Amino acid sequence: MIKKGDFFTKYNKDQLIDILIDWYLSDTIQLLDNVLTDNLVDPGYSAITTRNRLIYYIQYKQQIDPDFRVRTVNEFLINSGYDNKDIIAFEKSCKEEAHYYHGIQETLD
C-alpha cells in the first residue's frame, strides 16, 4: 500500500523536475498537434499559448543543458519531426490569433 508522501520520497528534487518537464513537453506537443488540425476560422486551441510554451521549454533546456543547441521554435519543430508544411501552418495560426490574443506573446530574442 502506498502511504501519503511515498511518491515524493522516491525521487529527489531534480528527478521530480525532470518528470514535470517531460509531462509539460508531452502536453505541449499534444497541444501543438491540436493546433495543427484545428479550424483556422474558429480555433479551439491557442497557437500562441503553444508557441509560448515551446519558447519556455527551449529557454529552460538552454539553461540546464550546455549541449542543447536549439535556438528557435522552428528549429525545435524540425528536430522534433515536423515538416515545413506543419511549420508554415503553425506560423499562420499564430499570426491569425495575434489579431485578438490578449496575453503575452513571447519571442526568443
For residue range 34-50, list pLDDT tens digits in order: 999 999 889 999 999 99
pLDDT-based confidence at residue 108 (cuts at 50, 70, 90):
confident
What does the alpha-carbon distance between residue 10 and residue 8 come to, in Å, rounded to a whole number? 5
Q: Residues 6 or more apart from 34 whose CB is under 8 A from it?
A: 44, 45
The set of cell numbers assigned to 101 is: 490574443
- Would you say 52 and 107 are in contact if contact means Cβ atoms under 8 Å apart? no
pTM of this prediction?
Answer: 0.88
For residue range 59-85, list pLDDT tens digits in order: 999 999 999 999 999 999 999 999 999
